[in-house]
Amino acid sequence: MKTFLIRGVPNSVQMDGWWMSEPPRENTPKTGTTDQPFFPRIIALLALVVAGDALTWQAEPGLSLALFGMLVLLALWFLNGCKGWGGLMVYTLLALPLIELAQALSLAFFGLGLVLGASWIALGGWQGVSRWLTAALRFVLSAPGSVLSEITETAHRATSHRPETSLTSLYKSWLLPLGFGLVFASLLLSANPMMESWFASLSPANWISPEAVSRLLFWCGLAIVTLPFLTAPQMQERLKLGVSGPRLPAAPAMLNAGSVCRSLILFNALFAVQTLTDIAYLWGGVALPDGMTYATYAHRGAYPLLATALLAGVFALLARPFTEGSQGLRIALLAWVAQNVFLVLSSLLRLELYVAQYGLTHLRMAAAIWMIVVALGLALVIYQTLRNKPAGWLLGRAALLGLAALYIASLISFSATIARHNLGKEVVLDPVYVCALGPHALPAIIAFEKARGHRLCYSYKPEAHEITDWREWGFRDFRLQASLATLSKSEEATTWPTY
């Protein structure tokens, strides 16, 4: 039997099958709610590079660096539709230590202010502490990717109007000729001295100075550092993702209700001995044993008791969940933490007794500050236990407490404080240590030398750095120069004895 074939499709069927055809695709760019115009970012980037060069090129960190950071966040603020002005306030607060004095701690606060301010602006306003801090962390982790994506987008825009010159086609078309061309050129240069001399005359080293190369690299570095802040609005959806509270690791098997109960009984008994001893000898005025001074007693106990309080805080954080079902364990935990607070206060008194005899040092000042922080942290543990707050509540506020302590410390001149104390009190004076404190100790040293009529620093005396460039201005150095200018006239009239 022959097969009957029908060639072609009737016109009516063709007309009825219109729904099977696919509509023509339009080459429209994909846009999102967080896409930003391309050219404003490029213009802002170029403007920031020019401003950064004028403010920070060949200048020590100081006022100019703080101003450049503000310009970066202002550019981000304008690109984001002038939303999130609170980020500018946060940056200003955290940039104050840099304006006070450029040091490692103030530079760290400067970087933290940039990140927190940028994340606030990118979110478009206040979104809560946890969401804000999470956005800042995500911004830091996404910064390298944002730079690469921006460079890729720039290259795509540069070649999108000519499809035949895409990066892939350029790679395939020019890799072979350029590769072999460089090999042949090197062989010909080595074989022809005339060509080698001509090439040497065209070398960039003859018409580009090393300073120009360094400055060009500096511009590239400014662009790379600045670009993530300008692309922050494009990461809004990623930065707005929620975050769960911090999770503590599972408690080990040895940490249970029974072990916590026995530990608290033992710890309270041990700490009671130390507490009664401090009450008797430090606060009650009982005479110490023969051969022991208050300075020795204070020096032996200050730092070990501080370490003990830190360990006690960690144990209290881990043991608190096991005390929720037992009122007795809860009271025992509160009593033990209260004893730790008292021991920290005793450590402060020990340190004060030691400093009163041997003077201040950087280490002793740092120890005093951290003793206060530890005492406040233990007070937070007591409040957390009484109010049944979660562990995340305590960890967040403890971190904020430590950050506040570092912020205040960055605004205090330790060297000037130590010099004023050691030279103004009757302590065992170490002239070498005082003279090595740095230029900010000069006003106290000069006042001491005028009062005693003889020099304190012979072989070495610190010199103040004179600010000749306004970009390097710092408030602490400004106050130092004002104090030295006041003392210079009276110092010139002083007649020093000869030795």
With respect to residue 102, please indicate whether it lies within any of the assigned structural domains.
Answer: yes
- DSSP letter at 102 equals -
Using an 8 Å Cβ cutoff, are 34 and 232 in contact? no
Let me know whether 399 and 422 are in one domain: no
Per-residue pLDDT tens listing for the chain (499 residues): 455 555 555 555 454 544 444 444 444 444 333 455 567 888 888 999 999 989 988 888 889 999 999 999 999 999 888 888 899 999 999 999 999 999 999 999 999 999 999 999 988 888 877 788 888 888 887 776 666 666 666 656 555 554 444 555 555 566 556 655 665 566 566 666 666 666 666 655 555 666 777 788 888 888 888 888 888 777 766 676 655 544 545 555 566 777 778 888 888 888 888 788 878 877 766 766 666 666 666 666 666 776 777 788 788 877 877 777 778 888 888 888 888 888 888 888 888 888 888 889 998 898 889 889 988 988 998 888 888 888 778 888 888 999 999 999 999 999 999 999 999 888 888 888 888 888 888 889 888 888 888 888 876 666 777 777 888 888 998 888 888 888 776 655 455 444 3
- Tell whether 339 is covered by a domain: yes
Q: Where a domain ends, among 358, 384, 412? A: 412
Judge whether 299 and 359 are in contact, CB under 8 Å: no
DSSP string, 165-182: G-HHHHHHHHHHHHHHHH
In a domain, 192, yes or no: no
The span from the CA of 261 to the CA of 267, in Å, is 10
Residue 306 maps to a domain: yes
DSSP string, 182-208: HHHHHHHHHH-HHHHHHHHHT-HHHHS
Q: Is 218 a member of any domain?
A: no
Residue 348 lies in a domain: yes
Q: Are residues 261 and 406 in the same domain?
A: yes
> What SS3 state is found at 305?
helix
Let me know whether 49 and 149 are in one domain: yes
Residues in Cβ contact with 359 at an 8 Å cutoff, skipping those fewer than 6 apart? 418, 421, 422, 425, 427, 428, 429, 430
User: Is 314 within a domain?
Assistant: yes
- Distance, C-alpha 314 to centroid of its chain: 25
Provide the total of helices (H) and of strands (E) in the chain, helices listed first: 20, 0
Residues 446 and 401 in one domain: no
Tally Cβ neighbours within 10 Å of residue 117: 29
- Tokens 């033992």: give the residue: 266
Q: Which domain holds residue 301?
A: 257-412
> In 10 A of CB 18, how many CB atoms?
7
Q: Same structural domain for residues 299 and 379?
A: yes
Residues 249 and 252: their CA atoms lie apart, in Å, by 9
The verdict on 440 and 355 lying in the same domain is no
**Is residue 406 domain-shared with residue 464, that is, in the same domain?**
no
Do 452 and 334 lie in one domain? The reply is no
- Boundary of a domain, candidates 364, 389, 412: 412
3-state secondary structure of 319: helix
Q: Are residues 385 and 312 in the same domain?
A: yes
Phi/psi-derived region of residue 453, left when phi > 0, alpha when psi is between -120 and 50, beta in every other case: left
Residues 97 and 144 in one domain: yes
Do 288 and 321 belong to one domain? yes
* Residue 393 exposed, middle or buried by CB count within 10 Å (0-12, 13-18, 19+): middle
> 226, 52 in Cβ contact below 8 A?
yes
Last residue within a domain, chosen from 412, 441, 473: 412
Residue 392 belongs to some domain of the structure: yes
- Does 386 lie in the same domain as 265? yes
Q: How many domains does the chain have?
A: 3
